[in-house]
Amino acid sequence: MDTIIKAIVFLPLIGFLIAGLLGTQIGAKASEYVTSGLMLIALALSWLVFFNVALGEEEMIKVSVLRWIQSGGFDVEWAFRVDTLTAVMFVVVNTVSSLVHIYSIGYMHHDPNRPRFFAYLSLFTFAMLMLVTADNLLQMFFGWEGVGLASYLLIGFWYKKPSANAAAIKAFIVNRVGDFGFSLGIFLVFVLFGSINLETVFAAAQSYLPAEGAEAAAAGAGAGEAVVNLFGMQLDKAHALTAACLLLFMGAMGKSAQFLLHTWLPDAMEGPTPVSALIHAATMVTAGVFLVARMSPLFELSPDALTVVTLIGAITAFFAATVGLVQNDIKRVIAYSTCSQLGYMFVALGVGAYGAAIFHLFTHAFFKALLFLGAGSVIHAVDGEQDMRYMGGLRTHIPVTYWMMFIGTIALTGVGIPGTVIGTAGFFSKDAIIESTFASHGAVSGFAFILLVIAALFTSFYSWRLTFMTFHGKPRASSDVMHHVHESPQVMLVPLYILGAGALFAGFLYHDYFFGHHYVEFWQGSLFTLPENEILEEYHHVPLWVKWSPFVAMALGLYTAWYMYIRSPETPKYLANQHRGLYQFLLNKWYFDELYDFLFVRTAKRLGTFLWKEGDGRVIDGFGPNGVAARVLDVTDRVVRMQTGYLYHYAFAMLIGIAALVTWMMLGSSF
């Protein structure tokens, strides 16, 4: 098993090195086949590990690779930690990545830089696998930053486009904000526990707070004397642990594009469509969810941190859903959907339903990758057009893509019958989160429940709006574009079939394991679990109206979208004109980009210009190198003027010199 795990992690790295270093020698086709072939092997091995570890008898496996850092009491080994949580992430990451590799063979067929593209895809996958197999926080941070680097390279893949460069830089900078918090959280964990090895930290966490300390923490009081000075504040054990959790969560907010650190996610659409599927479905944006789930033994000791996680997740789910209502770019609608669904996952984490959060991460990977790759198929068919206002009537021209997008839509909106086993993947996982939130006794659980149900309504509306605007009604594209509309090749459609099957059946097949009767046996301690999990017990006994509320919201959103875009297409324009301010507010994404531009970008530019012109130019250069150089030039200019080249000038100067010398001698002899 050790060899299999090493192969899963390092095969994508080998693909990256071959395509990246030898791509020009072996050619584009060979680069595509090598990287995709290695990913398929990693995928097969990932499912083998999943069945052996998650669904089998194998317990947590630790695979040592090498000694890494030893400095005093700081000892970090590079090792792979494979438990149920890691096995689930293996399946998610490698399934989506393999299908994206295959899909890209068709989608990127005409791009001259295919070896570089496939090398970046494999590098991205390797970095994510390093993250999810981390046995310590430093190794996780290595994978964390590797994913950030690869996302920068992929988002800016078409680097000759200024918008792509700007989007890549934006993603990189916004994530640095979150990563700064993550790094501080790692430092604080080391200060509190004397280690960043996960096993050591989790073992110490069990006895970190005494029973009365934990109760005091829940009540908002201290739990003893100060143990750390953070930003000038003296913190006791309970508050120091809360600070560590919040700093770790700050990193999760950046990677998973949560409210306030979300602005990079929609702009990431500037990369090729397969990149969007890879980033939004299975890798970068789920890293934050994975981090909080992995550190659940710490978060469970801090009710305040869990409250913040719940609150931020609920606001993100609602905020992103409102923005998605009016977007016209097909990829941006799906991007805001991703942002909203990540909010659902964090709410589940915040209320302690860790299994439900990872369950939604698992199902979301299938239907969101399906929607993004389906959108890529649409864009491929209409000659690169992404604005849904110039689509319409495509259902009969690209029927396979239409039905795959239809499956993705019913999975995202959670179509299913409450109280039964009839439903799509999103139905099982999303409803589990909503019902768990209602069952929770957290400080903001009621507020979060309301926002999640409203977000479910909005999700249904914008998802069906996308379907109706793209595939139904009269064609709004030019006759030339419509004449060339064609279905995608099989190399692009086969990944859609596989993802479609997952979007339909993954929830039904695995619900009992992720958040059902086999919950404790399935997770085997890889998440914070108790033999009698309160939230799980109460989740099964919520009132009937709670179970039906997501269904009603979904149906209402579907009917509203049908009425506005099929029955009465003039209604959206009328409402936009009647409520111009609200429409512009949502269309401009709550003006967060403008606000951040005013607060940070312009301020930084003004400060930089001032320091450049005044500090560097006038003061440092003026009194430093430039000032000294100017004075030297002044002196040399005057000396140069004395060198005229005329003989009588030199004779006159010599006479003056002789006269001065004689005068000095005469005066000197008289004394």
162-217 pLDDT, tens digit each = 989 999 999 999 999 999 999 999 999 999 998 999 999 999 988 887 654 445 55
Asked whether residue 392 carries a pLDDT value surpassing 70, the answer given is: yes
What is the pLDDT, as a whole number, of residue 222? 47
Pairing of strands 61-71, 226-230: unpaired
What is the pLDDT, as a whole number, of residue 615? 80
CA distances from 75 to 136, 456, 579 (A): 10, 46, 60
pTM, entire model: 0.89
What is the pLDDT, as a whole number, of residue 670? 63
Banded model confidence at residue 506, pLDDT cuts 50, 70, 90: very high
Measured CA to CA, the distance from residue 77 to residue 73 in angstroms comes to 13
Asked whether residue 505 carries a pLDDT value surpassing 80, the answer given is: yes
Sign of the alpha-carbon dihedral angle for 388, 393, 398, 402: positive
Banded model confidence at residue 126, pLDDT cuts 50, 70, 90: very high
Of the given ranges (275-279, 310-314, 647-651), which has the lowest mean pLDDT?
647-651
Q: Which two tokens stand for residue 520?
A: 């404790």
Q: What is the mean pLDDT of residues 341-356?
A: 93
Banded model confidence at residue 231, pLDDT cuts 50, 70, 90: confident
Q: What angle do CA 81, 83, 85 make, to 5 degrees?
A: 110
Instruction: Tell me the average pLDDT of the chain.
Output: 89
pLDDT tens sequence across 431-464: 999 999 998 888 899 999 999 999 999 999 999 9
CA dihedral 643, 645, 647, 648 (to 10 degrees): -60
Range picked from 106-120, 255-269, 552-566 for highest mean pLDDT: 552-566
Asked whether residue 220 carries a pLDDT value surpassing 90, the answer given is: no
Q: What is the mean pLDDT of residues 2-16?
A: 94
pLDDT tens sequence across 567-611: 999 999 999 999 999 999 999 999 999 998 898 889 999 998 888
Banded model confidence at residue 221, pLDDT cuts 50, 70, 90: very low
DSSP-derived 3-state class of residue 423? strand
CA distances from 593 to 161, 387, 618 (A): 20, 21, 34
Of residues 640 and 604, the one with the higher pLDDT is: 604
What is the pLDDT, as a whole number, of residue 533? 60
Q: What is the mean pLDDT of residues 385-407?
A: 91
pLDDT tens sequence across 95-116: 999 999 999 999 988 888 999 9
Strands (E), 479-600: none
Measured CA to CA, the distance from residue 249 to residue 299 in angstroms comes to 10
Asked whether residue 219 carries a pLDDT value surpassing 60, the answer given is: no
